[in-house]
Amino acid sequence: MEKNKKWEKLKWGRNKKDVCVSCGEATQHNKLDHIDMRKYYVEGAGQLCYDCYMRIYFRDSESTLPPA
Ligand SMILES: [Zn+2]
């Protein structure tokens, strides 16, 4: 029991990064970071990693951008 508690604490200590809501990878941002300070944070969706943000952002912009 005591061992498990210690392990949980250790896991929490390491798991301070917020994870990407799309792929579940840890992002560069701390869970306590204010969302205004974050990159790749989508309001209403949550934190995305760089890869997912770019994939979603560019896929969306491709269909909405006017032809050059
Ligand atoms: Zn991701």
Q: Does 52 map to a domain?
A: yes
- Tell me the C-alpha distance between 24 and 47, whole Å: 10
pLDDT tens for the chain, 68 residues long, are: 667 777 666 555 555 899 999 999 999 999 999 999 999 999 899 999 999 999 988 875 555 555 66
Q: What is the reported pTM?
A: 0.63
Residue 27: which domain range? 13-64
Enumerate the H helices of 1-68 as residue ranges: 2-14, 50-64
Q: Which tokens sit at 20?
A: 């990407």
Task: Quote the ligand 1 centre to 57 CA distance (angstroms).
Answer: 12
Q: Does 19 map to a domain?
A: yes
Task: Quote the ligand 1 centre to 8 CA distance (angstroms).
Answer: 25
Task: Quote the ligand 1 centre to 13 CA distance (angstroms).
Answer: 22
Please state the domain count of the chain.
1
Task: Quote the ligand 1 centre to 4 CA distance (angstroms).
Answer: 30
Q: Does 7 map to a domain?
A: no
